Amino acid sequence: MIILPEEHDVIRQVLTKAFGDPEDRPQILDSDFSDYDGVRIAIHYAASEGTILRVSISSPCWEELQSFDVMSYLDEKYGQWKVEPAPNMNYTLQFDIATPPDNVEEVISSVARLKTTMYSAPFKSTIRKVVDGKADNSIVQLAYRPKEKIYLKAQSDGVLIIFSLHFMDVTEAAIARVFCQEFQDAKNNHALSSCPPCRFDDSVPTDLEGVPGVTDKEMVGFVSFKLDPHHYAGNHEETVSARLQNFRTYLAYHIKATKAFLHFRMRRRGASWLQEWEKTD
């Protein structure tokens, strides 16, 4: 399986071009695109307007993210470039590309992780709650995709994260069940014994029973990860938060790749069958 990068490749490419050789810099940079989960990113620069470049991001669950102190996490990394959000956006960064920073590669890498930083906030917030001894077993939730939520539970012995999964396409739903079952079975691999244990339920898991709004109707199921203290000790909090928030995109990518592979295999076998048939004519 392919591990998806935490940096957004389009942001990296556009910023590398913008901060590069002025002779090769386009007169206009105007990129506006959306990600798997409805996150919108806009990058704007026009030579006729000067040397200012802006990078903006918006999330369909911005209001919920604010309850996880997302602004503090973003300001911690990007505060020196923060400006008033562009229209219909939640967070905007501004750079003067005529005077690139000395550590321009680090800055580009950091900005390319803008979405990762934003969506890591719920995980970091819950982890810090446990580390600070404030775990109360309450469950908080983030409706980050249509009909899908992330549930986070701060426990005295670690953090429980549960993803609810929904797919409109029946083929994708079937493939998702297989993938999720493989995640659960991975715990039997001794080489993976130090990884967070994973569980897949096709009905509402015990930890979510009684939580308002939780249902298994139309759901593929629920994937649970349990983080023990050693998973986020030291400087691992940043890494584990980034990887977990990327799980759903990782799953979607591999489901699409599997469908493409199955389609290619079917076409190849069909072509071979026709070739053999033509030989008999």
pTM, to two decimals: 0.85
User: How far, in Å, CA of 141 to CA of 146, rounded?
Assistant: 13
Q: What is the pLDDT of residues 137-165, one digit of tens each?
A: 999 999 998 889 999 999 999 999 999 99
Strand order in the sheet with 40-46: 28-34, 40-46, 52-58, 91-96, 82-83
Per-chain mean pLDDT for the chain: 88
pLDDT in single tens digits along all 281 residues of the chain: 566 778 899 999 999 988 888 877 778 888 899 887 889 999 998 888 888 999 999 999 999 999 999 999 999 999 999 999 999 999 999 999 888 888 999 999 999 999 999 999 999 999 999 999 999 999 999 999 888 999 999 999 999 999 999 988 899 999 999 988 888 887 777 777 778 888 999 899 999 998 988 988 878 999 999 999 999 988 788 889 988 988 988 888 889 888 888 877 777 777 777 776 777 66
Domains of the chain with bracketed CATH: 9-112 (3.30.1460.20), 120-262 (3.30.1460.20)
Residues with Cβ within 8 Å of 121's Cβ and at least 6 positions away in sequence, in order, are: 65, 68, 69, 70, 73, 74
